[in-house]
Amino acid sequence: MKSTKLRSWTEALLGAGAVNAPPHVFELSETALRYARFESQKGSLAGRFFRQVELPEEIFQSGALGGPLRDAEAFERSLGELLANLDVTVDRASLLLPDKWLRTVVVDMGETPWRSDEEVLRWRLKKHVPFRVEDLRLQAVEVNGSGDGRVLVGFAIEQLVAGVESAFRKCGIRIGQVTNRSLATASAISDVPELRSIVVLDDHCYSLVFAVARRAVMLRYKALDPKDLGDGLEAVVRQDLRITRGFIRQELPDQTLSRTLFCGPPSSEEAWLPLLEECLGAPTVRLGEEDLRPTSMPMAEPWHVMAPLLGAAGMEVR
C-alpha cells in the first residue's frame, strides 16, 4: 500500500526542519476524541479551549498496532458533535495518536539510498518490526543529522490513518502533522541542556523518551500484557527499565540522567514514581508546569492530558 508523505513530526523533534503546525490539535484514542486550541504569545503558548467527546465502544478494530475504523459513520458523527461545540471554525489541524498506533524505530540504513526509494526502506524495516510493512504508512528522517546512516522511522497502519483523515476532510479539516503522545510530550518540555527521560503511560503500554533540549536521543515502547497483573507486571517493567538504563549508559557514557518526568494518570503515581526512580537511577517527579515550555493554561485538565496537546501545538513556534 502506497504511503502518504506528510511533513514529519520527527523533523521538528530532531531539528531537521521547522514545522508550521496549526494551533488546533485533535487527540484520538480507542475511547475518546479530544480537541485543544492554543495561541502564541511572545514565545509562549496559551491554552484557550478544550473539549472532549466519548467514542462508541469498539469503533476501531483491534490489533497490535490498533486497527481501521469499524464504523466510519459513527466516528464522523462523534467528530461532528465535537466540532459543533467549538468556539472557532477549524480548517487545518494536527493529530495525536496513541503510541500503540504510531510507533517509532531506529533503522541502520548505511549508505542505502532510502530517500529516493521507499521500497528499500520498507525492505530494511522488515527486519525490525513484526508487521506487514506493505500495510504501513512510513515517515523517516535521519537521526539528528548524524550522517552515520541511522534513520528514525515512524510507522502506522495506513488504513487506520487514512480513514481518520478522510473523516476530518468530510468536515472541512485538513490533517497535516501526525504524531504520537510520547513525541509530542517530549516536544512540550522546557529547553534545557541536560539528559532527561519522559515516561508516558497509556492503557496497557508505556513509552520512554530520553531527550536533551527536547531532542530525542532514544525512544522505547513497551506493551504491557493485561494478564501480567500485580507483582508479575512490576517484574516485567523492572526488568525492562534496568535493561534500558544499561543501554543508555553504554550509548551515552558522557551523559548523566538528571531527571525522569512521569506523564500518566494520578492514580498510577504511587506505583510508578518509586519504581522509575529505583530502576532509572534519577529523581522522578510528576510532569508539571515547571517542566514545560513557557505556557499558561487556564483550563482545569491535568498536565498528563494537556502536555501532549501543548507539545504538538508548540511545534509551530520552534
First to last CA, the chain: 33
pTM reported for the whole predicted model: 0.88
Nearest residue to 24 (alpha-carbon basis) of 219, 318, 315 = 315
Which domains does the chain show, CATH number per domain?
1-189+299-318 (3.30.420.380), 190-286 (3.30.420.40)
In whole angstroms, give the CA distance from residue 10 to residue 137.
Answer: 14
Instruction: Tell whether the model's pLDDT for residue 170 goes beyond 90.
Output: yes
pLDDT at 231 > cutoff 80: no
For 235-289, how does the pLDDT look when each residue is reduced to its tens digit (9 = 90+)? 889 999 999 999 999 988 889 999 999 999 999 999 999 999 999 999 999 999 8
Between CA 236 and CA 23 the distance in angstroms is 39
Confidence of residue 200 (pLDDT cuts 50, 70, 90): very high
- Give pLDDT tens digits for 178-195: 999 999 999 999 888 899
Q: What's the pLDDT tens digit per position in 106-141?
A: 888 777 767 667 788 888 888 888 899 999 998 887
What average pLDDT does the chain have? 86
Residue 40 has pLDDT above 80, yes or no: yes
